[in-house]
């Protein structure tokens, strides 16, 4: 199992190191075997899962925190793994013909492989913190893929927006996972499911549920976090076909499905998940018909389809879960193909603007046929060759068979079929708008940047394979039911469903709902231009993108104002802010933790030499205030450091004394080197109030540090570790000098990195001096 996840990362490393040396072939050909081999491996595990078994592997990562690299393959992770690797193979094949060799292909495929490995890590992880780690890797790699054309402003904007929204959700999810691990006393998802009752009875149940769903909703572009997905369409089409139809946006669905065995059945889960899902379905389908960019239409259609699947996961019934699993598969097939067709249209005509397209059926007949089948399947047209109709009808059926609950959940359940039909009507509208506006009607070849023609077969091969699945599953749905869908549904519900999938179930209510969708949808699609002006007012101020802009711009303005307040170039202000913060925060902490305890017990006697040295140190520190020469001030302040070294000698700490002498000598020398080139000190022109503030800050800081030093001796929050070092320095470190053993052995890594930092600083100084001597500082 570890190898399956590691392979894409290893391939990314090898491609990054060696692909530039291979100039004769497209880099995609080197990448294609990776997802293809993984797809074959996962397919070989299907018979094992059919027997009710799982494939698992575990390796220690951070044992002290109970974090293991534990992965397991069950029905749900198998479905997603096949989508990740299967669609991934087709996307790589498509990209070979879509992307020019003039592009930065090495970067593109490295990002793609990183994303592929991260998604596999998400769906195969059993440890929640390993899952979170891969979850954030998907955000980072998708950011790189969306912003691949970084020289385009809209690409960088879309990448930044997706990162901000999804990382916000990821951090929320991390909070939920931490609370879950505390409540269930385990980091394993399977053990959390076994301890379901402890989680449901916990006072933290509601915060856990809300934080977890925030992570799922942001990733799967649910309302009100959906606006990042349309902006992410600025990515290359292979990225859109992969991330935004089959993989990344379904990560949130996976998260909800994986934790359904814990939360499903509660009214809170039902109302929040189903409610947000239905709102997203209706809003996404409604807004899709206002778009003029082909990928924009597909982006909002993806939002609506994800909302429908999320709603079914919220229903929680066996029929609904199977329908959700079925539609996850169907959506990947028809939406992946439609994204690729949109890319083909753009590639062969030079535009994705539907207002400049039309009549392309006669010019691009293969692309048009594929688009019609994909769009009609997405619309849920009741014909047996469209797999989308089967899962859409199961959606209607599950909305009618919800178990009635009391209170808000019961009231909400009665309205679900209405919202289901409403969202599906607009789904039909944007599906027809997409294909008829592009391939039928009047040709506008004079408005196109290129003379349109059919795409090469290499580019058509991937969408053809996906459309074959659309038709095959529509005609023979049980082909994937028993080996793939049923085990996936069983992993979500805990029970293996025994549902026979078929096109015809008689003249029942779900079929009548489908007829209503087709009838009303066809009417609205035909009269689209007449009612499209409604988009000028809706959503208006309720636009999610408008709220995003308001929040982000507000944060930017606030941060700019705060930064301009303290970034004035005044060292005095910087030190004042640092010291005031130090005094206030430390004082508050010590007050609430009884840190001001002062005890004079067990103190060493103070001798006259120590008093004399202390007096000289204090006098030297105060004398620097009246110094008019920088060099004189440095020399006098050096007296303080050397005095401290002498105190260490009196306290019988020769090692510390030697260290202090060396550090003080180097510090004074460096100060002299730097300040010798600075202008002379001028007489202070500060006002009396400024001097008074400086005095208060200085006295407060000095007094606080003195109290901290005394309190550290007087109050012990923890047992002293000194005895451990005394007992083990010789036994474990092999030395009698305890300080040396601590530095070299017990804190060996810390000392190593300190030496590394000093070494790097020395190399930097050496380089600057070398270039300065050559008069070549600009290099």
What is the crossing angle of helices 365-379 and 387-400, to 10°? Answer: 10
pLDDT tier, 779 (very low <50, low <70, confident <90, very high otherwise): very low
The angle formed by the CA atoms of residues 534, 536 and 537, to the nearest 5 degrees, is 75
Statement: residue 394 has pLDDT above 70: yes
List the one residue out of 73, 38, 42, 39 whose CA is nearest residue 55: 73
List the one residue out of 279, 328, 324, 325 whose CA is nearest residue 304: 279
Percent of the chain at pLDDT > 90 equals: 40
pTM comes to: 0.82
pLDDT digits (tens, 9 = 90+) for 585-618: 988 888 887 777 777 776 777 788 888 888 888 8
Residue 243 near residue 263, CB atoms below 8 Å: no
Percent of the chain at pLDDT > 70 equals: 95
Q: Where are the domains of the chain?
A: 287-536, 569-719, 720-779
pLDDT tier, 515 (very low <50, low <70, confident <90, very high otherwise): very high
pLDDT tier, 653 (very low <50, low <70, confident <90, very high otherwise): confident
Q: Pairing state of beta strands 67-68 and 60-62? A: antiparallel
Write down the pLDDT at residue 67: 85
pLDDT digits (tens, 9 = 90+) for 414-447: 889 999 999 999 999 999 999 998 998 888 877 7
pLDDT tier, 16 (very low <50, low <70, confident <90, very high otherwise): confident
DSSP code for 245: T
Instruction: Phi first, then psi: give them for residue 133, nearest 5 degrees.
Output: -60, -50
pLDDT digits (tens, 9 = 90+) for 441-470: 888 877 787 888 888 898 999 999 999 999
Task: Compute the average pLDDT of residues 734-744.
Answer: 80
pLDDT digits (tens, 9 = 90+) for 189-244: 999 998 888 899 899 999 999 999 999 999 998 998 988 998 888 889 999 899 87
Place of tokens 């998260």: 255
Which tokens belong to 167?
């990382």
560-590 b/e (C-beta count within 10 Å ≥ 16 → b):
eeeeeeeeeeeeeeeebeebeeebeebbeeb
411: part of which helix (H) or strand (E)? helix 407-439
Which tokens belong to 617?
């140190």
Write down the pLDDT at residue 172: 94
Residue 72 exposed, middle or buried by CB count within 10 Å (0-12, 13-18, 19+):
middle
Topology classification of domain 569-719 = 1.20.120
Instruction: Identify the residue with better confidence: 18 or 772.
Output: 18
pLDDT digits (tens, 9 = 90+) for 59-107: 888 887 778 889 999 999 999 999 999 999 999 999 999 988 788 888 8
Statement: residue 777 has pLDDT above 50: no
pLDDT digits (tens, 9 = 90+) for 397-419: 988 887 655 556 677 778 899 99
Rounded CA separation 463/57 (Å): 35
Write down the pLDDT at residue 541: 65
Rounded CA separation 347/109 (Å): 20
The SS3 call for residue 673 is helix
Which tokens belong to 693?
């503030």
């Amino acid at each position: 199992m570890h190898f399956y996840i590691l392979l894409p990362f290893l391939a990314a490393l090898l491609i990054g190191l060696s692909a530039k040396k291979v100039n004769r072939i497209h880099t995609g050909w080197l990448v294609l075997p990776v997802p293809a081999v993984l797809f074959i491996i996962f397919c070989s595990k299907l018979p094992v899962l059919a027997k009710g078994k799982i494939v698992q592997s575990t390796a220690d990562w951070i044992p002290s925190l109970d974090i293991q690299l534990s992965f397991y393959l069950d029905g749900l992770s198998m479905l997603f793994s096949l989508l990740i690797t299967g669609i991934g193979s087709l996307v790589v094949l498509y990209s070979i013909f879509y992307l020019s060799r003039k592009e930065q292909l090495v970067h593109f495929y490295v990002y793609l492989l990183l994303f592929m490995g991260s998604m596999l890590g998400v769906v195969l992880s059993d440890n929640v913190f390993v899952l979170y780690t891969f979850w954030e890797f998907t955000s980072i790699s998708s950011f790189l893929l969306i912003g691949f054309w970084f020289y385009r402003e809209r690409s960088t904007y879309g990448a930044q927006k997706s990162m901000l929204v999804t990382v916000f959700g990821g951090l929320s999810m991390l909070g939920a996972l931490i609370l879950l691990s505390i409540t269930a006393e385990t980091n394993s998802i399977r053990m959390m499911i076994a301890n379901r009752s402890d989680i449901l009875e916990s006072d933290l149940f509601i915060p856990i549920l809300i934080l977890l769903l925030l992570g799922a909703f942001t990733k799967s572009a649910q309302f009100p976090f959906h606006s990042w997905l349309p902006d992410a369409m600025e990515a290359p089409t292979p990225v859109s076909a992969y991330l935004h139809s089959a993989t990344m946006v379904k990560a949130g669905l996976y998260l909800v499905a994986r934790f359904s065995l814990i939360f499903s059945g509660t009214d809170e889960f039902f109302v929040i998940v189903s409610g947000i899902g239905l709102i997203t379905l209706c809003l996404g389908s409604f807004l899709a018909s206002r778009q003029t960019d082909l990928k924009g239409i597909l982006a909002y259609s993806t939002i609506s389809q994800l909302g429908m699947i999320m709603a079914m996961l919220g229903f929680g019934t066996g029929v609904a879960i199977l329908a959700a699993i079925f539609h996850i598969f169907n959506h990947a097939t028809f939406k992946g193909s439609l994204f690729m067709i949109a890319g083909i249209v753009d590639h062969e005509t030079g535009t994705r603007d539907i207002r400049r397209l039309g009549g392309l059926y006669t010019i691009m007949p293969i692309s048009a046929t594929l688009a019609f089948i994909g769009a009609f399947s997405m619309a849920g047209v009741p014909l047996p060759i469209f797999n989308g109709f089967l899962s859409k009808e199961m959606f209607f059926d599950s909305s009618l068979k919800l178990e009635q609950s009391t209170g808000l959940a019961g009231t909400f359940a009665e309205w679900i079929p209405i919202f289901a039909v409403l969202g599906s009507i607009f789904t039909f509208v944007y599906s027809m708008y997409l294909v008829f506006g592009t391939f039928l009607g009047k040709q506008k070849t004079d408005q196109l940047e290129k003379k349109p023609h059919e795409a090469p077969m290499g580019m058509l091969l991937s969408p053809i394979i996906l459309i074959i699945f659309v038709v095959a599953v529509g005609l023979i749905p049980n082909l994937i039911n028993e080996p793939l869908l049923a085990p996936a549904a069983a992993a979500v519900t805990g029970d293996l469903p025994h549902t026979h999938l078929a096109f015809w179930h008689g003249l029942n209510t779900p079929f009548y709902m489908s007829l209503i969708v087709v009838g009303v949808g066809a009417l609205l699609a035909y009269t689209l231009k007449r009612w499209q002006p409604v988009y000028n007012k809706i959503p208006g101020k309720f636009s999610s993108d408008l709220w995003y802009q308001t929040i982000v711009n507000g944060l930017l303005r606030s941060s700019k104002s705060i930064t301009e307040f303290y970034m004035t170039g005044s060292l005095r202000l910087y030190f004042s802010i640092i010291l005031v913060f130090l005094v206030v925060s430390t004082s508050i902490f010590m007050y609430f933790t009884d840190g001001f305890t002062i005890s004079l017990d067990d103190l060493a006697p103070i001798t006259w030499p120590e008093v004399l040295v202390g007096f000289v140190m204090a006098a030297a520190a105060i004398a620097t205030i009246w110094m008019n020469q920088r060099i004189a001030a440095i020399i006098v302040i050096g007296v303080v450091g050397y005095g401290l070294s002498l105190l260490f000698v009196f306290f019988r700490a020769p090692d510390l004394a030697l260290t202090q002498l060396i550090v003080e000598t180097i510090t004074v020398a460096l100060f002299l080197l730097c300040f010798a080139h600075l202008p002379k000190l001028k007489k202070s022109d500060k006002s009396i109030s400024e001097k008074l503030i400086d005095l208060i800050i200085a006295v407060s800081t000095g007094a606080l540090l003195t109290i901290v030093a005394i309190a550290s001796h007087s109050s012990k929050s923890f047992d002293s570790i000194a005895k451990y070092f005394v007992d083990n320095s010789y036994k474990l470190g092999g030395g009698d000098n305890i300080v040396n053993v601590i530095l070299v052995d017990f804190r060996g890594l810390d000392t190593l990195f300190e030496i590394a930092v000093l070494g790097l600083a020395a190399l930097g100084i050496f380089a600057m001096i070398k270039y300065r001597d050559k008069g070549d500082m600009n290099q």
